[in-house]
Structure 1
């Protein structure tokens, strides 16, 4: 087992750019390094380093590192991106009989500026050695970098979380019927991201912060906030009967009389999961042609099978009704309301129903339970139930807004969705959309989502101020990944 790596380069730089811009370049640099390493081309590896890095560590020192510690491990079999933290990319390097973690960054000319190995478990602190005859500038840079590295050494708990995330994610992405996976953690005010698998089967391209996923029923939490916001800012009230907002020809159905918005938002309206006149013309895209005429036709002829406030029965139909009635109330569309009233104020720039422009290149294909390509879902009248697409970045920021709601009417609406409104069981309450599990005297707010080719999970714990987001472009559920991480964070 490799105990430590004796040469570390940390060159501090004021150069900053977005993750999306740098990630692809880093992947190319890493691939070149892997090729050079496996061919024992030390000169080529050294030429990958920037000038400051070469001033910090000599070619002789690099040769010693390679010959004495790295080449004996054998060829690099795989290089897997783990996460981005503090501007540095963390990679898992797999050798025949060992595994290392490489911390890497590149400068504006795509040369290596940070090049740091440590045992993959992260339990042992690396020894940092500098060349003896460095200039004062190099010494100062190394001193600052060493201090920065000391701050970056994670606690045992952080290491356990990283290892758990890695283990769960690799188990998921190694399955033949999965594809890409991204995980976001918000802990102690720090947002960390992890990427696995591929955006498309066989393209060897990891998801990233800009990758758009279908989030399915997590959309319901947005719809619930929209409803709560309307109840604070407008005359729409949670306990208003929905017949007040339906056309007369529909409102005349007495079986709808006692259904309120609160009932719809807590799945206690007595409505079924789906309307019985949902007859897809395209089996793989079931909501595509279900429009407002079909919805109102169903409601006009609806026959009550459960009284409101009598039973919890999860209903996509109910959230579709909320979205449609609010859209008609404001003479708008569900998509426009979500973007204008929620996403723009919260800075969620990539969360929307209809990706457009540059977003389209980041909206990745989806795969069903058999691992086969399947179409994205499209919605009309039932958009409020599951139409939104988003990124791990946006959803982690959304979770942060739920943990620390802004001091605005929108923040008041977010808080309103958290208030328990229905007791599902002894250990689970229901807010507006949010499921609230009670574990170890802590409230865990969560919602999941799925389409025919995607799976999603979002949870946050207000008392602990942490959150988890898991997104996949394949149908197999990611719930267990999210729940396992939440459990470990609580511990």
Structure 2
């Protein structure tokens, strides 16, 4: 269980593009002079054009007047470290020291200004949430004061800051499980311009990570003998479709390992709304496609990632249990693992916390909606619930569900000398350890989950922007592995 300590503090981030940090000490010396004279106009003129476009003068004045000026004059600053283009400083105000992360452009104008709590023992902040008024309340997860955890905290901060500084991103949530301890980190904004950070209740799309939940449903039903992994799917299709000889030989295992020969998407998927491509693709369209399906690759002959295959898998499983995909997820996984936010259709408080999404250009784009292909990418979840799911994959409960989770880890297809495929999970062999991972993405969200059962470590990352978070996730899990 995560324990929290709260304190009032200010967080200020400029969302901007990267630039090589030069002469930050010169810029900071000027900032100190202007700050101690309360010359807010001069401070604002230190920003480059992109920063001023992102943050208004009024917003800066509010921050200075209500958050920083009350701390008294800046007495001195001390350089701590350089992290790529970001300079870290200890800023000693009369009332308390703070940590400042600063970068400037080639003209010595400020483009990044990011304040954090400063502790002599380098204890880091693990999560941030909005409080009333103009004050931000920051929460600290239970932290073991050792160099390894400090390193993880620093790495997460560095990677997350660089990510959220991109103009096409918005909010970011990171969860880390390390030897039985959980930490959460939140950055950016839930909606561009609202200055409200994500939190424990913030709901994100997870795209193709949904497939790992679908695979768990399949494993669970196979252990209950509702279906068998190597059952041919034509056994569960209407006769008019099952008679298509091109579908012969495709099994549930094939669908779950992308080895069915089915293409990534059906050829009759012609979206009425290009921004919400799966919205109108229903069961009739799916079965119409399967009835006329012509085989290009035989089952078990090639790996070809298939949203179609996973959509079909979910349809068949739900039909077998005479329920919907969403209800099957709730009954088999969400309720037993206590993942209340996990759902295809958020409602109530979850719906209120469902963040808007932004495309690769940073523009608002619709959430995705699904009909027949739900099992391929329709689920939503919070960071704490996704991390709890990762924990269940490390320490599987002694139940049928726990055995099903373990079954999804069993290698079923060799992708390369260093990568296998389980039921949905990619299994990378790294330094003789099995690293399980999956990513997800929609036109306006990106997600990543990875865990190493042997090391008992995991990371989950959720973003409401299309900009990939894969590199962040891989860097964090490799650090957790000790690489």
**Structure 1 residues 427 and 29: alpha-carbon distance in aligned structure 2, compared to 1, 3 A threshold:** closer
**Structure 1 position 40, deviation (Å):** 3.8
When the two chains are superposed, the root-mean-square deviation of aligned CA atoms in Å is 2.9
Residues 1:415 and 2:432 are matched in the alignment: no
**Structure 1 residues 293 and 163: alpha-carbon distance in aligned structure 2, compared to 1, 3 A threshold:** same
- From 384, 396, 420, the equivalent of 1:405 is 396
Aligned to 2:297: 306
| Alpha-carbon separation, structure 1, partners of 2:121 and 2:157 | 11
**Structure 1 residues 437 and 29: alpha-carbon distance in aligned structure 2, compared to 1, 3 A threshold:** closer
| Alpha-carbon separation, structure 2, partners of 1:296 and 1:486 | 41
Q: CA offsets, 1:84-136, max 9 Å, x none?
A: xxxxxxx974287998752xxxxxxxxxxxxxx4148559xxxxxxxxxxxxx
**Structure 1 position 394, deviation (Å):** 0.4
Q: Which runs of 5+ in 1 are unaligned?
A: 1-15, 42-65, 75-90, 103-116, 124-148
With the length of structure 1 as denominator, give the TM-score of the two structures.
0.75
Residues 1:269 and 2:253 are matched in the alignment: no
Q: CA offsets, 1:304-352, max 9 Å, x none?
A: 0000011111100000011001111111100010011111000001010
Aligned to 2:202: 211
| Alpha-carbon separation, structure 1, partners of 2:2 and 2:401 | 31
**Structure 1 position 154, deviation (Å):** 1.8
- From 197, 212, 215, the equivalent of 1:221 is 212
Aligned to 2:150: 159
**Structure 1 position 423, deviation (Å):** 0.3
Map 1:351-430 onto structure 2 (within 5 A): 351-430=342-421
- From 268, 279, 295, the equivalent of 2:270 is 279
| Alpha-carbon separation, structure 2, partners of 1:29 and 1:169 | 14
**Structure 1 position 190, deviation (Å):** 0.6
Aligned to 2:183: 192
**Structure 1 position 417, deviation (Å):** 0.4
With the length of structure 2 as denominator, give the TM-score of the two structures.
0.76
| Alpha-carbon separation, structure 1, partners of 2:290 and 2:249 | 13
**Structure 1 residues 310 and 73: alpha-carbon distance in aligned structure 2, compared to 1, 3 A threshold:** same
**Structure 1 residues 257 and 170: alpha-carbon distance in aligned structure 2, compared to 1, 3 A threshold:** same
Q: CA offsets, 1:284-303, max 9 Å, x none?
A: 00000000000000000000
| Alpha-carbon separation, structure 2, partners of 1:37 and 1:247 | 66
Higher helix share: 1
| Alpha-carbon separation, structure 2, partners of 1:153 and 1:335 | 39
| Alpha-carbon separation, structure 1, partners of 2:192 and 2:201 | 18
| Alpha-carbon separation, structure 2, partners of 1:92 and 1:297 | 63
Report if the CA contact (8 A) 2:283-2:371 is conserved.
yes
Report if the CA contact (8 A) 2:2-2:183 is conserved.
no
Q: CA offsets, 1:197-244, max 9 Å, x none?
A: 100111101101110000000000000000010011133100000001
Report if the CA contact (8 A) 2:10-2:115 is conserved.
no
Aligned to 2:245: 254
**Structure 1 position 35, deviation (Å):** 4.0
| Alpha-carbon separation, structure 1, partners of 2:213 and 2:272 | 28
Q: Which runs of 5+ in 2 are unaligned?
A: 13-58, 79-96, 104-112, 125-139
| Alpha-carbon separation, structure 2, partners of 1:433 and 1:179 | 28
Count of aligned pairs: 391
**Structure 1 residues 152 and 338: alpha-carbon distance in aligned structure 2, compared to 1, 3 A threshold:** closer
Structure of higher CA gyration radius: 1
